[in-house]
Amino acid sequence: MTIQSKTSTALTLVSDPVSPGLENTIAAETIFSHVDGAAGRLIVRGYDLEQLSDWSFEAVLALLWQGLVSHEDTEAEIRVALAQARVHAFRLIETLLPATDNLSQVEGLRLLLSSMPDAEPLAHHVLAVAAVPVFAAAIARRSAGLAPVAPDTTLGHAADFLHMLHGENAPAEKVKALDTYLVTVADHGLNASTFTARVIASTKAGVFSSVVGALCALKGPLHGGAPGPVLDMLDAIGDESNIRAWLVNALVRGERLMGFGHRIYRVRDPRADVLKQAVTGLRDSGGRINFAEAVEKEALALLAEKKPLRPLQTNVEFYTALVLEGVGFPRESFTNVFAAGRMAGWTAHILEQEHLGKLIRPQSKYVGPMPEAR
Ligand code: COA
């Protein structure tokens, strides 16, 4: 397409129609995951998500990083490397933790992660994954007026996350639920934060710069900031007799129901069922699940009624909220826990992008005024 300026100078511009959310744009090839929005299927490096739900987070890291790193190939090696890196990360927080005091918990994590040098001598991808639980647990404890708890290198990643949060070892059922959560959110195609990480990595800015950018993208309520508001919504609804009226009023006010809708899934997000299963494994979760199910049922009926042209289904965040509440995270820390899991995908995509070695630099379509004739 060409447009004419007032001086008759022809400019050649990008001709394809622009979709503002890049919905139909394929911006990368990846070996890590495929999101099939029509079938409600998530494939992670050759496995359906449901097949991975019993794996440890370390095993999924081994799967994602396989062939891209020269060390830490096996689940056992990764477990050891992560434990050592958690100890390293813990040494870094002492001076900086007070600076997080006036920030939200995700802003606190952003501050601590951005303090890490890109020239850090430890393997960056390992340290990035290891640092998030250390920082997130210390920030959550500080918000509650508690001192940070040092990592325990004998524990697996999920178990140590809960140990650093609570100051004692968590029961096996909670460790299992958190492991399942971390695995479930480990990677998910070219979501906004992963795309951000790849763009930054493509400039060769380094791993920590890339993951800080990814975290900034994750923090928004349309991406990783939703599960806290899901609990706020359940609390605001209060009891079963109020469900329909509350949801109708929210939609009338033009609000979005948190935990519903997705850019790619037009059917139920497969992660929702894996996480619902994980909540069911937690003792004392019965009442909360029954209530959440009743809210979900009514919300889906209302969304189908009010937005008939747009299939809106339950997304990952709805049952995320219940899992994270069930294992004892304060809701203000939910986005940080999401980051702990998604760091697996971010680091894998950064490694993939670095191997590719190509700067990401799309074009825009100029629709502004042309200069006056000189
Ligand atoms: N509640 C009510 N309406 C919703 C909705 C929700 N959760 N999600 C989408 N819609 C509606 C929009 O209002 C819009 O309606 P309109 O066409 O009448 O204006 C239509 O569906 C399309 O919305 P759009 O924002 O274009 O879709 P998207 O693909 O860009 O949005 C999300 C995807 C996830 C951002 C969106 O579904 C959302 O905001 N969900 C709630 C937040 C959430 O759960 N985030 C976690 C995502 S994993």
Task: Report the nearest atom of ligand 1 relative to the CA of 316.
Answer: 48
Q: Are 215 and 339 in contact (CB under 8 A)?
A: yes
Residue linked to tokens 């009010």: 306
| 97-111: pLDDT as tens digits | 999 999 999 999 999
Pick the residue whose CA is nearest to atom 28 on ligand 1. Answer: 263
Question: How many residues in the chain?
Answer: 374
Q: Is 349 exposed, middle or buried (0-12, 13-18, 19+ CB in 10 A)?
A: buried
Q: Is 140 exposed, middle or buried (0-12, 13-18, 19+ CB in 10 A)?
A: buried
Token pair belonging to 329: 């995270």
The pair phi, psi for residue 358, each rounded to 5°, is -120, 125
Least confident range from 28-42, 102-116, 119-133: namely 119-133
CA distance 286 to 292: 10
Distance 303 CA to ligand 1 centre (A): 10
Average the pLDDT over 140-146 and give the result: 98
Q: Return the higher-pLDDT residue of 352 and 16.
A: 352
- Which pLDDT does position 73 carry in this prediction? 82
Specify the CATH superfamily of domain 227-326: Cytochrome P450-Terp, domain 2 (1.10.230.10)
What residues pair up with 36 in beta bridges, in sequence order?
41
What residues pair up with 139 in beta bridges, in sequence order?
none
Collapsed DSSP state (helix, strand, coil) of residue 36: strand
pTM of the model: 0.91
DSSP 371: P
Flag whether pLDDT at 293 surpasses 50: yes
CA distance 89 to 342: 18
- The closest alpha carbon to 239, from 306, 287, 302, belongs to 287
Specify the CATH superfamily of domain 47-224+332-356: Citrate Synthase, domain 1 (1.10.580.10)
Q: Are 325 and 41 in contact (CB under 8 A)?
A: no
Token pair belonging to 35: 């999101």
CA distance 101 to 98: 6
Q: Are 296 and 269 in contact (CB under 8 A)?
A: no
Distance 44 CA to ligand 1 centre (A): 25
Which of 163, 188, 262, 349 is labelled catalytic? 262
Ligand 1 pocket test: pick from 310, 315, 342 the residue with the most ligand atoms within 8 Å of its Cβ. Answer: 310
Average the pLDDT over 362-368 and give the result: 93
Q: Are 90 and 151 in contact (CB under 8 A)?
A: yes
DSSP 332: G
**Strand ranges, E, within 59-195:** none
The pair phi, psi for residue 334, each rounded to 5°, is -60, -40
Distance 263 CA to ligand 1 centre (A): 8
| pLDDT bracket for residue 24 (50, 70, 90) | confident
Which of 58, 72, 317, 352 is labelled catalytic? 317
| pLDDT bracket for residue 4 (50, 70, 90) | very low
CA distance 190 to 347: 13
CA distance 133 to 314: 27
Q: Are 237 and 302 in contact (CB under 8 A)?
A: no
Ligand 1 surroundings by CB, under 6 angstroms: 21, 222, 226, 256-263, 307, 310, 312, 315-317
Ligand 1 pocket test: pick from 222, 223, 319 the residue with the most ligand atoms within 8 Å of its Cβ. Answer: 222
- What are the extents of the domains in the chain? 47-224+332-356, 227-326
Domains 47-224+332-356 and 227-326 share a fold: no
Ligand 1 pocket test: pick from 185, 218, 249, 262 the residue with the most ligand atoms within 8 Å of its Cβ. Answer: 262
Which amino acid, one-letter code, is at 51? Q
Residue linked to tokens 């700067």: 359
Flag whether pLDDT at 8 surpasses 80: no
- Which pLDDT does position 3 carry in this prediction? 38
Pick the residue whose CA is nearest to atom 3 on ligand 1. Answer: 256
- Which pLDDT does position 14 carry in this prediction? 52
